Structure 1
Amino acid sequence: MEPAPSVSSWAEQVRAFAGTFAADPDIPSEWASQILAQAQYNARVKRLMTPAQGSTSTVRDWQGYRARLVSPARIDAGVQFWRRNQQVLQEVQKQWGVPASVIVGIIGIETSYGQNVGNIRVLDALSTLAFDYPQEHPRALERAAYFRKELEQFLRLCRANGLDPLSITGSFAGAMGIPQFMPSSWMLYGEDYDSSGGVNLLTSAHDAIASVANYLRAHGWKPDQPAYFNIDLRQTTAAQMATLLAPDILPTFDQAALTALGAQLMPSGQRYEGQMALVELKNGENPPEYIAGTENFYAVTRYNQSSYYALAVLQLGEAVQRRFDLLQPTAAPAAPVAASSLPTDAP
């Protein structure tokens, strides 16, 4: 592992970066310099971002991953979160067209409904990655530039929302708050839903709910559309499977194309007219599982570029909604969520 930068090198880069705000009307240069001078190098952040030596691939285990994230404790916490925020979830679903279950699933996976938002000072995490990104990464220069932009956006959002940049904590990558937004996402998609005068993703569940919905809608979520389907691949040849898997999670095939390649959706998905991708979920040494992911499945992967993450989000939200509906005194179900429901019919 390469050593930490020297104190003089660190200070020089920080001073140079602070100087970029000299002509910025929104960020006082003196304030930026004062804040950035208090940034501290965090070796743990760099270590967590450094690729493991000799690692070329990761053995995935979807069932193990799902068991950790779609757990009874997280489902119970999700029901409580839904109860506390039921009216806002309904309003946001109506306004943005994103199902309450998907929003609840994302917030549950990201921070267990605000219980685990990260304990690393964001200023330190972003500064470390902006000025000393691990050189082992194949795109180190590009990633360092990305984190310099995020550091700039972090200062802007703190000024715009009256936040103290020295006290905000988050993930080792600089994600913050109940929905774990990066600074640029906070600035672009954050919603002041409770009209407090500023976007508060640190403690406002209402702002977090609306911001997640706004983010997904901006990244292609289509209201009243499914997110994924079960699929029958028993008639698919090895060559056809290779063709189906080539686009990865990018929706590429319509119903006719899937059928031509030997793949068959279950009856509940055969009326869908949009584009889909064959999504492979590996199970370690056991056979993989497959689903057909739609444009809405792909939209969830814009939050975190992992098919495992997206399916865990959707299935956690579904599990929470089922439990929530069962516990309602009137037994009246919540608004239907065809957009994230996995059919029960099996191949």
Structure 2
Amino acid sequence: MRLLKSVAIAWVAMACALTAHANPSPKPAKPASPKKTASNTTTVQGGAPYAGRPDAMAFADDLAARRGLDREWVRQAIGQARLLSQVPRLMLPPPVGTPKNWRVYRSRFIDPVRIRAGVRFWQEHREALERAEAEYGVPVEIIVGIIGVETIYGQQMGNFRVMDALATLSFDFPNAHPRAKERREFFQRELEQFLSLSNRSNIDPFEPRGSYAGAMGLGQFMPSSWVRYAVDFDGDGRIDLFKSPVDAIGSVANYFKGHNWTTGMPTHYAVQFDTARLQLDTLLAPDILPSFSAASMQAKGVVLDADGARHTGPMALVELQNGGDAPTYVAGTENFYAITRYNWSSYYAMAVIELGREVAAAR
């Protein structure tokens, strides 16, 4: 109950945290118990509303029944959400054969603008960052790296209506995606969480803005992550991941603690290869899932540095392609894998790690 109360308070804060230029939207019909609604003064940009989609309305009826929500309120909320035609295209992977390039990817996130912003963020919130590291065991560099990669420390938190984004991905996720069914079901669960929280917190679900995938705040939390991991780290009695960097810092650290971050464990080790014994296909088969002991990796042709050779937990051989040049390889630990639970990409994880290090060095 304490968690639900905190989340409800948080979502009221979210409504207040929106940018002043955000367009108000048509309000859903009031349910039996009054709900806050936005003023109906402008035309909402987007495609056709989902009120005309039988599948969306059936989902609304099922959600209302399972969650004990007012049926008409849920139908009106989902019915007034609009298809964002550009969003499904953004979810598609690049065409088969498109070369990945770690150096290009890295340059998008490790640049002077982000590093300078990271230094300011660290200086302004040093006490909260150090307290989060002490309480959750997650290094300051990782927390700083995450918030920098995600939103440039709050500068770019997204301007899509979360309700539209989640509805679009729930009912119009592209079938061409190799995991279309799985991802569509994921976004339907997120839409359910979002509407349930909006109902409990008595706010208009069309108010919050975020990414095209429905992520919100400085750390870009999805609704389910907000419920599970967001914390009131500044002690003001409410959770606000939009306007409270301190809450965002604690929440990011708590997220990693919830995903089995091990205090003191490095994220990765440098590697070289003994080409005469190298079993590259076997080593890459598990992808980024830590699956090999140090001894096993070395028996398959990986030459670890001294620290890597002493590592006692499982590791993965992580390949970062560099276009037409030779790939970069590292031995990723379980902490490297924990970073990929934030975004399932080894390139993302390395960008977070290296941004945090660059900011630390620039201080």
Shared fold by TM > 0.5?
A: yes
What's the counterpart of residue 327 of structure 1?
none
What's the counterpart of residue 54 of structure 2?
12
- Tell me how far 1:8 sits from its aligned partner: 7.7
Q: Secondary structure at the match of 1:232?
A: strand
What's the counterpart of residue 49 of structure 1?
91
What's the counterpart of residue 222 of structure 2?
182
| Unaligned ranges ≥5, structure 2 | 1-45
Q: How does 1:113-152 map to 2 (within 5 A)?
A: 113-152=153-192
* Change in CA separation of 1:216 and 1:254 when aligned onto 2, cut-off 3 Å: same
What's the counterpart of residue 339 of structure 2?
300
Q: Which of 219, 222, 238 is equivalent to 2:259?
A: 219
The 2-side partners of 1:174 and 1:75 are apart by 26
- Tell me how far 1:147 sits from its aligned partner: 1.3
Do 2:293 and 2:313's aligned partners in 1 also have CA atoms closer than 8 Å? yes
User: 2:124 matched to 1:84?
Assistant: yes
- Tell me how far 1:265 sits from its aligned partner: 1.5
* Change in CA separation of 1:6 and 1:41 when aligned onto 2, cut-off 3 Å: closer
What's the counterpart of residue 247 of structure 1?
286
What's the counterpart of residue 208 of structure 1?
248
Q: Secondary structure at the match of 2:350?
A: helix
Q: How does 1:231-246 map to 2 (within 5 A)?
A: 231-233=271-273, 235-237=274-276, 239-246=278-285
The 2-side partners of 1:95 and 1:301 are apart by 22
* Change in CA separation of 1:285 and 1:206 when aligned onto 2, cut-off 3 Å: same
The 1-side partners of 2:241 and 2:195 are apart by 15
- Tell me how far 1:316 sits from its aligned partner: 0.5
- Tell me how far 1:32 sits from its aligned partner: 2.6
Do 1:5 and 1:132's aligned partners in 2 also have CA atoms closer than 8 Å? no
Q: Which of 22, 26, 29 is equivalent to 2:71?
A: 29
Do 1:51 and 1:136's aligned partners in 2 also have CA atoms closer than 8 Å? no
What's the counterpart of residue 305 of structure 2?
266
Do 2:51 and 2:76's aligned partners in 1 also have CA atoms closer than 8 Å? no
Question: Cα deviations across residues 114-155 of structure 1 (Å, max 9, x unaligned)?
Answer: 111111111001111111221222332332222111101111
Amino acid in structure 1 at the alignment position of 2:55: Q
* 4+ residue segments displaced more than 6 Å: 4-9
Q: Secondary structure at the match of 1:138?
A: coil
The 2-side partners of 1:57 and 1:10 are apart by 39
Question: Cα deviations across residues 143-195 of structure 1 (Å, max 9, x unaligned)?
Answer: 22221111011112334455542121111111111111111111111112223
- Aligned residues between the structures: 318
Q: Secondary structure at the match of 1:184?
A: helix
* Change in CA separation of 1:225 and 1:38 when aligned onto 2, cut-off 3 Å: same
Do 2:49 and 2:82's aligned partners in 1 also have CA atoms closer than 8 Å? no
User: 2:207 matched to 1:167?
Assistant: yes
| Unaligned ranges ≥5, structure 1 | 325-347
* Change in CA separation of 1:160 and 1:271 when aligned onto 2, cut-off 3 Å: farther
- Tell me how far 1:107 sits from its aligned partner: 0.6
The 1-side partners of 2:265 and 2:183 are apart by 34
State the TM-score, normalized to the length of structure 1.
Answer: 0.85
Do 1:160 and 1:198's aligned partners in 2 also have CA atoms closer than 8 Å? no
Q: Secondary structure at the match of 2:310?
A: coil
- Tell me how far 1:261 sits from its aligned partner: 1.7
The 2-side partners of 1:219 and 1:128 are apart by 28
The 2-side partners of 1:139 and 1:275 are apart by 28
State the TM-score, normalized to the length of structure 2.
Answer: 0.81
The 2-side partners of 1:43 and 1:262 are apart by 48
- Tell me how far 1:83 sits from its aligned partner: 1.0
Amino acid in structure 2 at the alignment position of 1:220: N
Amino acid in structure 2 at the alignment position of 1:145: E
Identity of aligned pairs, percent?
Answer: 48
User: 2:315 matched to 1:276?
Assistant: yes
The 1-side partners of 2:259 and 2:155 are apart by 26
Do 2:292 and 2:315's aligned partners in 1 also have CA atoms closer than 8 Å? yes
Do 2:315 and 2:332's aligned partners in 1 also have CA atoms closer than 8 Å? yes
The alignment yields a C-alpha RMSD, in angstroms, of 2.2
